[in-house]
């Protein structure tokens, strides 16, 4: 329920019928003005409570976890044994699934609330493309900081090269299937543009993916590898979705259909171990 919804429910339970009818009339006129006041206050209160709560959540997770694993931007993909975090929509924390001690609020565009070298693994899927390039670089630098020496990060994000490849005149069966499934699954989501697709799938799909869901910067492998290297990661390599040589990083991705797998750029990288730091 939204902050406005909570307020309406409270008023309905505590005022008489005549007053309620007057309030409903005023609400139709002044809903936007009321929302401007109530929403920021309610969100600020939620954020304050979440930040207070996460101190004990973090302490509890770190104390009971011999292998410490952090997932950023978890959404509904709650991974067992991980400290799952989310930072975009405070309302998502009202769901029962998020009542676990292993689900915290974390805004990845700001310094992480962890000490250096706290985690063995970090994973995030379809997160970094929601940040601009500079924000993404700062987020990866924070990931490096909170990883232990020798720790590993795994990233899954849409692949710019895959989308650019859709512009080729000749298309593989996988590309044709991806285009049709993308339109089918995403029509009506974020914009109505995909509802106008006829035979010109590519232009609509590219425009939709580059703008939808608040996407800000779509990476290809070379660009993502470069920024990982710039902030200090090593042993950077491309991986297949759902597959890793490290069992702790295998089968993590939430997206399992052709849309989300065919277009996935999956990369793993390591924080240099203390022994290798002096070699470079």
* 72 phi, psi to nearest 5 deg: -100, 145
| Residue 98 sits in the same domain as residue 14 | no
| Residue 146 sits in the same domain as residue 228 | yes
| Residue 90 sits in the same domain as residue 148 | yes
Q: In total, how many domains does the chain have?
A: 3
Residue with tokens 């500079």: 134
Strand order across the 83-86 sheet: 103-105, 83-86, 69-72, 119-125, 147-158, 264-270, 234-239
* CA gap 88, 74 in Å, rounded: 10
* CA gap 103, 45 in Å, rounded: 18
Q: Could you tell me the two tokens for 76?
A: 């509904």
Determine contact, residues 260/178, Cβ cutoff 8 Å: no
The pLDDT value recorded for residue 137 is 98
In a domain, 147, yes or no: yes
In a domain, 234, yes or no: yes
| Residue 95 sits in the same domain as residue 229 | yes
Mean pLDDT of the chain: 83
| Residue 92 sits in the same domain as residue 139 | yes
In a domain, 216, yes or no: no
pLDDT tens by residue, 53-101: 888 899 999 999 999 999 999 988 889 999 999 885 544 444 444 445 5
pLDDT at 5 over 80: no
Given CA atoms 31, 190, 84, 273 in this order, what sign does their dihedral have?
A: negative
| Residue 31 sits in the same domain as residue 170 | no
* CA gap 144, 130 in Å, rounded: 19
In a domain, 151, yes or no: yes
| Residue 29 sits in the same domain as residue 72 | no
Please tell me which residue, 211 or 233, carries the higher pLDDT value. Answer: 233
The pLDDT value recorded for residue 2 is 52
Determine contact, residues 46/57, Cβ cutoff 8 Å: no
In a domain, 215, yes or no: no
| Residue 79 sits in the same domain as residue 199 | no
- The domain boundary, picked from 9, 28, 54, lies at 54
The pLDDT value recorded for residue 33 is 56
pTM for this prediction: 0.80
In a domain, 187, yes or no: yes
| Residue 150 sits in the same domain as residue 259 | yes
DSSP SS3 for 146: helix
* CA gap 219, 162 in Å, rounded: 10
| 155 confidence band (pLDDT: 50, 70, 90) | very high
Q: How does DSSP assign 211-278, residue by residue?
A: HGGG---PBPHHHHHHHHHHHT-EEEEEE-TT--SSGGGTT--S--SHHHHTTEEEEEEEPPPHHHHT
The pLDDT value recorded for residue 29 is 42
Q: Could you tell me the two tokens for 195?
A: 């509802």
In a domain, 60, yes or no: no
* CA gap 126, 157 in Å, rounded: 5
* CA gap 177, 185 in Å, rounded: 12
Say how many CA atoms lie within 13 Å of 31 toward its Cβ: 10
CATH number at residue 227: 3.40.50.150
Mean pLDDT for the stretch of residues 144-150: 98
The pLDDT value recorded for residue 189 is 73
The pLDDT value recorded for residue 90 is 45
Q: Could you tell me the two tokens for 14?
A: 């505590």
* CA gap 141, 223 in Å, rounded: 15
What residues make up the domain containing 194? 163-209
| Residue 143 sits in the same domain as residue 178 | no
The pLDDT value recorded for residue 40 is 66
In a domain, 86, yes or no: yes
- The domain boundary, picked from 149, 175, 209, lies at 209
* CA gap 267, 239 in Å, rounded: 5
| Residue 229 sits in the same domain as residue 112 | yes
pLDDT at 22 over 60: no
Environment class of 136 (CB within 10 Å of its CB; exposed 0-12, middle 13-18, buried 19+)? buried
| Residue 199 sits in the same domain as residue 247 | no
């Amino acid at each position: 329920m939204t902050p406005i919804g909570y307020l309406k429910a409270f008023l309905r339970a505590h005022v008489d019928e005549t007053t309620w009818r007057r309030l409903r009339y005023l609400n139709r006129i002044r809903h936007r003005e009321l929302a401007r006041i109530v929403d920021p206050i309610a969100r600020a209160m939620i954020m304050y409570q979440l930040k207070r709560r996460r101190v004990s959540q973090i302490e509890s997770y770190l104390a009971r976890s011999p292998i410490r694993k952090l997932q950023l931007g978890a959404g509904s993909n709650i991974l067992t044994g991980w400290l799952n975090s989310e930072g975009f929509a405070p309302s998502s924390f009202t769901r029962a699934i998020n009542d676990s001690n292993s689900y915290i609020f974390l805004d990845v565009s700001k310094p992480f609330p962890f000490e250096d070298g706290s985690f063995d693994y970090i994973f995030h899927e379809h997160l970094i493309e929601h940040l601009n390039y500079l924000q993404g670089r700062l987020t990866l630098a924070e990931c490096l900081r909170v990883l232990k020496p020798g720790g590993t990060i795994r990233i899954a994000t849409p692949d710019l090269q895959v989308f650019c490849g859709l512009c080729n005149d000749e298309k593989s069966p996988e590309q044709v299937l991806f285009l049709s499934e993308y339109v089918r699954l995403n029509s009506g989501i974020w914009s109505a543009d995909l509802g106008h697709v006829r035979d010109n799938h590519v232009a609509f799909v590219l425009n939709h993916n580059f703008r939808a869901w608040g996407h800000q910067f779509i990476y290809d492998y070379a660009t993502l590898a470069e920024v990982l290297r710039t902030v200090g990661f090593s042993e950077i390599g491309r991986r297949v979705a759902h597959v890793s040589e490290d069992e702790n990083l295998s089968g993590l991705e939430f997206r399992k259909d052709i849309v989300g797998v065919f277009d996935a750029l999956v990369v793993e990288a390591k924080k240099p171990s203390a022994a290798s730091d002096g070699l470079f």
